[in-house]
């Protein structure tokens, strides 16, 4: 190496990194190329590989009431303490049930997998507790689970559900690929009311459009539909849609 | 920063980078050897990883790796191994009847251990960590059973639930006497006071308890019995035991008679495996079950 003249750092390829390191523009371009390669290899295949999303029986779009409950779940930030992602680990499967499948989130915009578990995972909480338990638990979590650190969400039981944006919300979901049919689109408000009116004739039509939907007055304290009804309808559906009797575990190993 | 000819630093003998700030120059010290070699090693490791584990996406699949490792396959193996180990300890629970488990101290011990663990995750949210229950959720240690306290009855209740989404669920519906207009509000008050006397509690002043007794005989005794001792075939509670699922205040009783509670318990047959349910039945029976 000379002690004068332009920088010179040897001739081999490995010694030429100073070209990138001394030019901000080249360095940024180089980083972009590297990140693009990573994205192409790691992300793009997820969109075209058929094995990304399992073939399952039973997945359907959310009912209007479940969708409204899901929006409240997002609004209240439930995902900050509850995950909806049972990982494929023995202890999780033994406690929570079958590990979550990609197919179970395919109509989620956005998905609620979460990454924090101050509370338990609730990917399969549907049917585990009764509606009255959920009502009591949302009003005062410590009344049923003494060691709970969950805040009270009692106001959900007294706040009427705001349904003004619901029709548009269903339409938006359809726009981004959730298979809401024309029939579903035309009956959003009817289905919303039918899900809390088990004796109404519309309930049968709802169940036809949305199989396995739970039809009950979830929060019996008020005659009108509250936010509590919507949230509990959503919770009671979580993890119950996929028919695991028809799911082929062996064909979906990955 | 200005460009400065590369020089050799006099003290360290190292060349400079050619950067210079107000007379301060930067030494072009190479990375330590050990660091560099570790870096090369990680690159070599990644090549080995690509070969051994699933790695590269292809047109319609991906490279599966030398040993065909899958995360889901591994958890299936671990679950099977865990189940096998458990079955080794709990051998017999699978085939034994509830009566056989109860008759065999060793099987009982295993079932109790299994049952306690399952109870902790699945039952404590309502029935409490010791089965002590809470308002609206029966105390399992009181020896008083809505749907029967024998091993078989408890097993049936756990499997099919109460007023649950299950064809064989335990079901009965107390009418909403007040809400549906079967009884007038003052009649509800009278019968509520009579029910309090059944449990040995004082009635309110100035309420006609004798009238309440008559209303009880006409409306309630079909399920709760003439003497108020209940009927486990209907899940109608015994009203004479001083165990009050929804409270014994006159207002609580009036609410119960006006609206009816008809509480629900989920059916666990769909959620838990048969051995777990058997173990749970043995455990719950041990808390306060009868013969």
Residue B2 confidence (pLDDT): 58
| B79 belongs to a structural domain | no
Closest chain A residue to B124, measured at CA: A145
Q: How far is CA B216 from the centre of its chain?
A: 38
List the CATH number of the domain containing B254: 1.10.760.10
What percentage of chain B reaches a pLDDT higher than 90? 63
Would an 8 Å CB–CB cutoff place A251 in contact with chain B?
no
CA distance B215 to B194: 9
Residue B75 lies in a domain: no
Choose the weakest-confidence range: A49-58, A104-113, B118-127. Answer: A49-58
Q: Give the range among A3-17, A85-99, B258-272 with minimum mean pLDDT.
A: A3-17
Which residues on chain A are in Cβ contact (under 8 Å) with B136? 132, 136
Is A190 near chain B, with CB under 8 Å? Answer: no
Residue A52 at interface with chain B, using a CB cutoff of 8 Å = no
* Residue-level pLDDT at A249: 82
Q: What is the pLDDT of residue A2?
A: 38
What does DSSP assign to residue B19?
Answer: E
β-pair partners for A226 = A160
A99/B contact by beta carbon, under 8 A: yes
- Mean of the per-residue pLDDT values of chain A: 91
Chain A partners within 8 Å of B82 (Cβ) = 90, 94
Instruction: Pick from A60-69, B225-234, B257-266 the range whose average pLDDT is largest.
Output: A60-69
The shortest C-alpha distance from B130 to chain A (Å) reads: 12
- Residue B132, domain member (yes or no): yes
Judge whether B199 lies within some domain: yes
CA distances from A68 to A6, A237, B55 (A): 67, 13, 40
Asked, for residue B49, whether it belongs to a domain, the answer is no
- CB of B46 within 8 A of CB of B34? no
> Is B265 part of any domain?
yes
Residue A3: pLDDT above 60? no
| Secondary structure of residue B183 in the 3-state scheme | coil
**Does the pLDDT at position B1 exceed 70?**
no
List Cα–Cα distances, A87 to A47, A91, A129, A162, B71, in angstroms. 21, 9, 22, 34, 10
Q: Domains in chain B: how many in total?
A: 1
Min distance B121 CA to chain A CA atoms (Å): 8
pLDDT one-digit tens code per residue, B146-165: 999 999 999 999 999 999 98
Residues of the domain holding B235: 121-288
Contacts of A43 (CB under 8 A, 6+ apart): none
Mutate to test the interface with B, among A9, A17, A90 (most CBs of B within 10 A): A90
Coil, strand or helix at B97: coil
Burial (CB < 10 A; 0-12, 13-18, 19+), residue B275, is buried
Instruction: Tell whether ipTM is more than 0.95.
Output: no
Binning pLDDT at 50, 70 and 90, where does residue B121 land? confident
Model confidence at A19: pLDDT above 50: yes
Using the Cβ of B27 and the Cβ atoms of chain A, whether some distance falls under 8 Å is answered with no
Q: Nearest chain A residue to B1 by CA: give it.
A: A22
3-state secondary structure A2-30: CCCCCCCCCCCHHHHHHHHHCCHHHHHHH
Mention every residue, 6+ apart, whose C-beta is less than 8 A from residue A21. Answer: A27
Query: Quick check: is B104 in a domain?
Result: no
| pLDDT confidence of residue A118 | 94
Write out residues 56-95 of A within 8 Å (CB-CB) of B: 88-90, 93-95
Structural domain contains residue B214: yes
Predicted pLDDT at A11: 60
Q: In this complex, is the C-beta atom of A49 within 8 Å of any C-beta atom belonging to chain B?
A: yes
């Amino acid at each position: 190496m000379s002690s004068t003249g332009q920088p010179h750092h040897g001739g081999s390829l490995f010694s030429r990194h100073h070209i990138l390191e001394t030019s901000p523009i080249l360095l940024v371009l180089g980083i972009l190329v590297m990140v693009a390669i990573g994205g192409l290899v790691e992300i793009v295949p997820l969109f075209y590989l058929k094995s990304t999303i399992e073939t399952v029986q039973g997945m359907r779009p959310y009912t209007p009431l479940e969708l409204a409950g899901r929006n409240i779940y997002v609004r209240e930030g439930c995902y900050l303490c509850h995950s909806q992602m049972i990982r494929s680990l023995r202890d999780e499967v033994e406690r929570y049930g079958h590990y979550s499948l990609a197919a179970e989130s395919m109509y989620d915009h956005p998905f609620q997998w979460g990454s924090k578990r101050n509370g338990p995972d609730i990917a399969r909480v549907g049917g585990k507790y009764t509606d009255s338990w959920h009502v009591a638990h949302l009003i005062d979590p410590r009344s049923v689970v003494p060691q709970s650190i969950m805040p009270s969400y009692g106001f959900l039981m007294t706040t009427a559900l705001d349904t003004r944006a619901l029709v548009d919300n269903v339409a938006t979901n359809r726009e981004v690929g959730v298979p809401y049919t024309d029939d579903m689109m035309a009956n959003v408000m009817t289905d919303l009311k039918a899900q809390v009116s088990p004796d109404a004739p519309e309930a049968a039509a709802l169940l036809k459009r949305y199989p396995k939907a739970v039809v009950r007055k979830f929060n019996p304290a008020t005659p009108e539909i509250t936010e509590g009804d919507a949230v509990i309808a959503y919770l009671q559906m979580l993890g119950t849609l996929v028919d695991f009797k028809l799911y082929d575990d062996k064909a979906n190993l990955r | 920063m200005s460009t400065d000819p590369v020089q050799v630093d006099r003290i360290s003998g190292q060349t400079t980078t050619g950067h210079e700030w107000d007379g301060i120059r930067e030494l072009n010290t190479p990375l330590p050897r050990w660091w560099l070699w570790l870096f090369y090693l990680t690159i070599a490791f990644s090549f080995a990883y690509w070969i051994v584990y699933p790695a590269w996406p292809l047109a319609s699949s991906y490279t599966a790796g030398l040993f065909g490792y899958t995360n889901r396959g591994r958890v299936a193996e671990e679950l099977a191994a865990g189940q096998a180990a458990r079955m080794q300890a709990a051998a017999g629970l699978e085939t034994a009847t509830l009566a056989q488990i109860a008759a065999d101290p060793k099987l009982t011990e295993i079932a109790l251990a299994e049952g306690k663990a399952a109870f902790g995750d699945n039952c404590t949210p309502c029935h409490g960590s010791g089965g002590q229950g809470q308002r609206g959720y029966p105390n399992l240690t009181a020896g008083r059973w809505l749907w029967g306290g024998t091993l078989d009855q408890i097993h049936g209740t756990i499997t099919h639930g109460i007023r649950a989404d299950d064809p064989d669920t335990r079901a009965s519906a107390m009418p909403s006497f007040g809400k549906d207009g079967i009884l007038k509000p003052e009649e509800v008050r009278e019968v509520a006071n009579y029910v309090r006397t059944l449990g040995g509690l004082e009635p309110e002043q100035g309420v006609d308890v004798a009238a309440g007794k008559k209303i009880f005989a006409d409306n309630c005794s079909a399920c709760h019995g003439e003497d108020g001792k209940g009927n486990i075939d209907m899940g109608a509670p015994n009203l004479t035991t001083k165990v009050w699922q929804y409270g014994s205040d006159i207002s609580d009783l009036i609410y119960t008679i006006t609206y009816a509670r008809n509480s629900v318990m989920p059916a666990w047959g769909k959620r838990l495996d048969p051995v777990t349910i058997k173990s749970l039945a043995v455990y719950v029976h041990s808390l306060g079950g009868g013969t």
